[in-house]
Amino acid sequence: GQLAGLHTSVDILSRLGMGAIFGNIQSIHDRIEAALLEDGFVSARCEHRGGRSGILAMKPPAGIEATPLVNKLAEQGVMVTAPDGWIRFAPHWPNAIDEAELVIEEVRACVSQA
C-alpha cells in the first residue's frame, strides 16, 4: 500500500531528475517573482540560484494583507500559504510553466478587489 506508493513516487522523481525538477520550479518562480515585483510585492528569494528552494516567499504591497489575499486566491483555486505575512508559492514537478501566468492573473485580480 503506502510503501508501493512511496516507491512509485521515488521512481518518478528519480527518472525526472532533481536538477530538471529544480529548474522547472525556478522557472515558475522567475515568472511569478518578476510580475509581482512590478506590482509592488517584495521578494525574500535568494539572489543566488544555489541558495534558492522550492518555495517563493513574497510580501504583498503596502495596504494589502496576506491572509485575506490567500483566502481569495484559494477561492480561485490558487493554493498558497502566508503564516507570517509572506505569501508562499510552492509549485512542484507536475506544475507546468504556463501555470505561472494563471497564478499571476489571479493574484492581480484578487489584489485589485482588495
Predicted model pTM:
0.85
User: CA-based angle 49:81:64, to the nearest 5?
Assistant: 95
Q: What is the tens place of the pLDDT at every residue in 38-66? A: 999 999 999 988 899 999 999 999 999 99
CA distance 67 to 54: 21
Q: What's the grid cell of residue 15?
A: 527518472
pLDDT band, residue 5 (cuts 50/70/90): confident
